[in-house]
Amino acid sequence: MYSNFWSSSGPVKEVLQVYAEKEWKGEAHVGETPPQIIDDVVKRGNLAVESIERAAQKVEANREEFARLKNDIHCYHAFANCFSEKVKAAMLVLRYKYSNDVKDLEQALPHLEKSLVFYQQLVDLTKDTYLYANSMQTAQRRIPISGVNGTNKTWAELLPHYQSELDNFKRNLKMLESSGDKSAVVQKSKVLQPVEVTILNAGLKRFPLQNGQQVYADNEAKIEGVAEELQKLSGVQLSGEEQEKNGTVLKFKTDKPVKVLVGYFNTNSYSVLGPPTLETNAQANDRGQADIKIANALFIPKLYPVNVYTYSYDAGENELVLGKGRVLILGFIDGNENIAIHDAGMTKDENGPAVDWLFY
């Protein structure tokens, strides 16, 4: 989407990020604001449902066509309520960027849960009445998610994605609640020390996690920001094209237990490998990899923000086997090293630290 889309459409308004920042700073708002918009669409949705239900009592002809119209009104009503709750949650999550207070996230959770309830209503209302929800069923579509191979074209197909979004948020919120200081926005951790391992795959090169270093053998994208705690580590330079076609298998030998740092891209692009999640894979935590450790750990222009997870291995010869899609191998550390969940803030977001990782 082009950068000035929202500012060139409709009256003067504030998008969520601008609204949240002004709210936190106590600045005056200009034009339409998210609370005004969601309040308006919900009120109009309620009035539309009330009106169509009153009219239904007097319909004597063309009842099938009226039933379709009535169903449409209820669809719009569910849709409005769904995104109203999502926006309420988003405002609280964005507030967390400034407050560092996990209570803001706790208040956001009920809104996300309500949003999913309303979305389920939308799925139920459309599953037998609509063929699909959009007219662009291609890999080029990105909103709300890729339509590669004609997928994600109905409301029902999107439901698992929204469920996963909620489950991930709950998991990350729980981790924050159980951590010592209740916050993870832009914190520093101690510098991680590398452990030497022997890479058994033929022809693979290592690269230091430093600015200017190329992360892929077949992609010119280079690091322009790296978390301080990672700067002594060395990654394994792989082929992104090979990862997309066949997945990743890294064979290595170590004399002591280690943790492998794996960087998952923070995006819903079909070209990348999604992070491990127990909701879809019962083995997603067999090596302690289900929990994010460092959010926004690397900034690599032309790619996506990178979140770090760790996989634990014993001494000896090992294999790290990952599914199809682009992913980064960022180094090896002592198997007893613990990394407290935090956000390293390696982004170029002028609106402050990104909080997308809470949903991955």
Could you give the CA distance from residue 157 to residue 131 in angstroms, rounded to a whole number?
Answer: 12
51-88: pLDDT as tens digits: 999 999 999 999 999 999 999 999 999 999 999 999 99
Instruction: Name the residue with higher pLDDT: 291 or 336.
Output: 336
- Residue labelled with tokens 């929202």: 6
Instruction: Give the pLDDT score at 11.
Output: 82
What pLDDT does residue 288 have?
76
Provide the strand spans (E) within the chain: 198-199, 205-208, 214-216, 219-222, 225-226, 234-237, 248-254, 258-265, 294-299, 306-313, 316-322, 328-334, 342-343
- pLDDT at residue 109 tops 70: yes
Q: What's the pLDDT at 282? A: 45
Find the mean pLDDT for residues 14-28.
Answer: 93
At 247, is the secondary structure helix, strand, or coil? coil
Of 29-43, 123-137, 346-360, minimum mean pLDDT range:
346-360
CA distance 307 to 247: 19
Query: Hey, which of 8-12, 224-228, 301-305, 339-343 has the most confident mean pLDDT?
Result: 224-228
Q: Is the pTM of this model over 0.85?
A: no
Q: What is the DSSP letter of 290?
A: S
Average of per-residue pLDDT across 320-324:
94
DSSP assignment string, 258-288: EEEEEEEESS--TTBPPPP-TTT-TTTTTTS
328: pLDDT strictly greater than 60? yes
Per-residue model confidence (pLDDT) at position 1 = 44
Enumerate residues 6+ apart whose C-beta is below 8 A from 235.
206, 207, 208, 209, 215, 263, 328, 329, 330, 331
pLDDT for residue 175 is more than 50:
yes
**Average pLDDT score over residue span 299-328:** 94
The answer to whether residues 202 and 311 touch, using CB atoms and an 8 Å cutoff, is: no
Q: In this predicted model, what pLDDT tens digit does every residue of 251-289 receive, in sequence order?
A: 999 999 999 999 999 887 888 998 887 654 545 577 878
* Average pLDDT over all residues of the chain: 88
Rounded CA-CA distance 166/116 in Å is: 8
Residues 298, 310, 90: CA angle, nearest 5 degrees:
60
pLDDT greater at residue 357 or residue 202:
202
Cis peptide before 208 (omega within 30 of 0): no
Q: How many other C-beta atoms can be found within 10 angstroms of the C-beta atom of residue 123? A: 16
| Among the ranges given (3-17, 35-49, 199-213, 287-301), the one the predictor scored with the smallest mean pLDDT | 3-17
In the chain, % of residues over pLDDT 70: 89
Q: What is the pLDDT of residue 360?
A: 77
| Average confidence (pLDDT) over 128-143 | 76
pLDDT at 100 over 80: yes
The DSSP secondary-structure symbol of 356 reads G
44-58, 105-119, 277-291, 323-337: which range is least confident on average? Answer: 277-291
